[in-house]
């Protein structure tokens, strides 16, 4: 059975944690998960940040897993009382929480020289029934996969390790490619050019991202498509249009 | 009519933009809006990151404005074709898009010495019918308020200006206070202490945030409450509990 080469694979991400919603912690997982998914040929379609509240997690899990190929969560899988992701996901999926024997063995090994297992540490072996483990080389406690739902750590460098252990393991489509053109111009001067360029290259989307640097305004124009030739053609249209306005296009962005 | 002093005021935030979902741009608005809301006595309850797609924005706007006191959006109010926030919010609210005369006047003034108004720049005077403006000292184009919905810029330092111009303007409740205790300890060693401490001080929540630094594990414990005395009492319980385990509590966190 051939897979449709034009099929777009999608994912959603739920960032779980009061510390993000209070502003105390600056999230780093959205960008990291987004970039990793892009390489796998999967588009991140939506993100929700929810508090450490079971009902809020359940609602987000059930909405997002139904309408995306994959659902990732970050946060709330540690040993303390505020780590309720496993319980909430199990509730959302209508399964029990069980101790995963392999997770228990991993934690016993990891903590053998670090004071041994205790009640808090054993919490990290709890999984929704039927789940598999995702390897965590960094700190013992594994991530968790159940069907199309992936539970990852909240600490970004542990999440990075868990993502790395999933490299190439998920079915995806054509990666979304992009090319960036920078220009020292107010985006409002070239809004028409960008709109017309996008219309002329229907396989491409153009995003415009203004900035203020060195006391001057500029913008980066990001051309996205799954087709490299379309990007090259659209990029040429934008660069020529900028040149016609007396503006220099900076390949790769500013 | 007296306001309930225990009423909790809530807000939601919608971050609009393909550049966040692609991983290209690291969001800075979630933490900034969250911190600002905290000072106003308003709790950020949920965040959604959605693409530059009208249906996705409409769904998020209508869900979140109904169940929160305030709804903020960031992104998509600039001059280019991918800036569709105003149209999407107007569609969500069932109102037309109109040119706001004062916004037009602001833009005419701002661009008088910058090449004049053009079609793209005039887009930034478009608002959902009935909206008021939010001042933007930084770059002319104003933010937009309609009822409990606030449309802010995507560029973080412009959003910061818009938030500053709303300082003290929104009704809120008691600000959520917090105190942080740091400790060079694996959080899994003190999970029981944290759970018991939270149970003993029911007006407080304790969040536990582990880290790895200088080759050692540690954690910060953040005690949150609207009541300063409760925080102080809970903080003492945690510090004494750590001391009883032979661990030093670092006031203010590590």
Q: In chain B, which residues have their Cβ closer than 8 Å to the Cβ of A12? A: none
Instruction: Judge whether residue B251 has pLDDT over 90.
Output: yes
- Average per-residue pLDDT for chain B: 94
Cβ of B34 and A56 within 8 Å? no
* Sequence-distant (≥ 6) Cβ neighbours of residue B42 within 8 angstroms: B9, B10, B11, B69, B70, B170, B172, B173
Q: Which residue of B has its CA nearest to A47?
A: B49
Q: In chain B, which residues have their Cβ closer than 8 Å to the Cβ of A120? A: 187-192
Cβ of B80 and A44 within 8 Å? no
Q: Residue A200 gets which letter from DSSP? A: H
Convert B7-46 to b/e letters by CB count within 10 Å (16 or more is b): eebbbbbbbbbbbbbbbbbebbbbbbbbebbbebbbbbbb
For residue A84, the distance in angstroms to the closest alpha carbon of chain B comes to 12
On the CB side of A233, how many CA atoms lie within 13 Å of its CA? 13
Instruction: Judge whether residue B18 has pLDDT over 90.
Output: yes
Best mutation target among B21, B67, B198 (most A Cβ atoms within 10 Å) is B21
For residue B131, the distance in angstroms to the closest alpha carbon of chain A comes to 23
Spatial separation of the C-alpha atoms in residues A157 and A136, rounded to whole Å: 10
For residue A157, the distance in angstroms to the closest alpha carbon of chain B comes to 10
Contact B154, B74 (CB under 8 A): yes
Q: In chain B, which residues have their Cβ closer than 8 Å to the Cβ of A27? A: 27, 30-31
Instruction: Judge whether residue B2 has pLDDT over 70.
Output: no
Q: In chain B, which residues have their Cβ closer than 8 Å to the Cβ of A176? A: 22
Residue ranges of A 58-117 with Cβ closer than 8 A to chain B: 78-82, 111, 114-115
Cβ of B31 and A38 within 8 Å? no
* Sequence-distant (≥ 6) Cβ neighbours of residue A153 within 8 angstroms: A74, A75, A77, A78, A136, A139, A141, A143, A159, A162
Instruction: Judge whether residue B115 has pLDDT over 60.
Output: yes
Query: Within an 8 Å CB–CB cutoff, is residue A41 touching chain B?
Result: no
Q: Give tens-digit pLDDT for B46-72.
A: 999 999 999 999 999 999 999 999 999
Spatial separation of the C-alpha atoms in residues A82 and A62, rounded to whole Å: 21
Residues in chain A: 254
Query: Within an 8 Å CB–CB cutoff, is residue A206 touching chain B?
Result: yes
Cβ of B188 and A118 within 8 Å? yes
Spatial separation of the C-alpha atoms in residues B124 and B103, rounded to whole Å: 8
Give the residue-averaged pLDDT of B183-211.
Answer: 94
Please give the helix or strand (H or E) that residue B209 lies within, else none.
strand B205-213
Helices A191-200 & A228-244, crossing angle to 10 degrees? Answer: 150
Contact A33, A13 (CB under 8 A): yes
- Kindly list the strands in the beta sheet with B205-213, ordered across the sheet, starting from the edge strand earlier in the chain: B205-213, B216-225, B177-183, B250-251
Cβ of B45 and A27 within 8 Å? no
Q: In chain A, which residues have their Cβ closer than 8 Å to the Cβ of B189? A: 115, 118, 120
Instruction: Judge whether residue B1 has pLDDT over 60.
Output: no
- pLDDT score for A229: 96
For residue B124, the distance in angstroms to the closest alpha carbon of chain A comes to 9
Cβ of A192 and B120 within 8 Å? yes
- pLDDT score for A174: 87
pTM: 0.92
Residues of chain A predicted below pLDDT 70: 1-3
Domains of chain B: 9-165 (3.40.980.10), 177-251 (3.30.70.260)
Among the partner residues B81, B188, B208, nearest to A194 by beta-carbon distance: B81
- Extract the tokens encoding A71: 């659902």
Among the partner residues A56, A119, A187, nearest to B78 by beta-carbon distance: A187
Residues in chain B: 254
Q: Give tens-digit pLDDT for A7-35.
A: 999 999 999 999 999 999 999 999 999 99
Query: Within an 8 Å CB–CB cutoff, is residue A39 touching chain B?
Result: no
Query: Within an 8 Å CB–CB cutoff, is residue A145 touching chain B?
Result: no
Q: In chain B, which residues have their Cβ closer than 8 Å to the Cβ of A209? A: 19, 25
Among the partner residues B82, B186, B207, nearest to A18 by beta-carbon distance: B207
Q: Give tens-digit pLDDT for B116-165.
A: 999 889 999 999 999 999 999 877 789 999 999 999 999 999 999 999 99
- pLDDT score for B142: 94
Q: Which residue of B has its CA nearest to A16?
A: B46
Question: In which residue are the tokens 């999970």 written?
Answer: B191
For residue A178, the distance in angstroms to the closest alpha carbon of chain B comes to 10
Spatial separation of the C-alpha atoms in residues A189 and A187, rounded to whole Å: 5
Among the partner residues A119, A176, A206, nearest to B192 by beta-carbon distance: A119
Dihedral pair phi/psi, residue B236, rounded to 5°? -65, -40
Contact A21, A49 (CB under 8 A): yes
Spatial separation of the C-alpha atoms in residues A219 and B89, rounded to whole Å: 25
């Amino acid at each position: 059975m051939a897979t449709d080469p034009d099929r777009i694979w999608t994912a959603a991400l739920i960032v779980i944690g009061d510390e993000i919603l209070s502003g105390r912690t600056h999230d780093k997982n959205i960008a990291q998960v987004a970039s990793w998914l892009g390489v796998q040929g999967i588009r991140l379609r939506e993100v929700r940040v929810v508090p450490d509240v079971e009902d809020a997690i359940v609602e987000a899990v059930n909405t997002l897993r139904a309408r995306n190929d994959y659902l990732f969560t970050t946060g709330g899988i540690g040993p303390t009382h505020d780590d309720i992701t496993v319980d909430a996901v199990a509730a959302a999926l209508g399964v029990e929480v069980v101790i995963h024997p392999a997770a228990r063995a991993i934690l016993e090994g990891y903590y053998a020289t670090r004071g041994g297992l205790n009640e808090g540490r054993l919490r990290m072996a709890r999984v929704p029934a039927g789940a598999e483990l995702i390897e965590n080389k960094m700190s013992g406690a594994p991530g968790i996969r159940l069907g199309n739902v992936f539970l990852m750590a909240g600490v970004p460098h542990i999440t990075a390790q868990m993502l790395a252990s999933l490299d190439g393991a998920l079915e995806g489509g054509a990666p979304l490619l992009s090319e960036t053109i920078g220009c020292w111009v107010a985006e409002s001067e070239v809004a028409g050019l960008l709109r017309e360029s996008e219309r002329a290259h229907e396989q491409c989307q153009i995003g415009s991202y203004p900035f203020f640097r060195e006391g001057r305004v500029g913008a980066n124009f990001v051309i996205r498509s799954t087709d490299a030739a379309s990007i090259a053609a659209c990029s040429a249209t934008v660069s020529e249009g900028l040149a016609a306005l007396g503006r220099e296009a900076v390949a790769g962005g500013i």
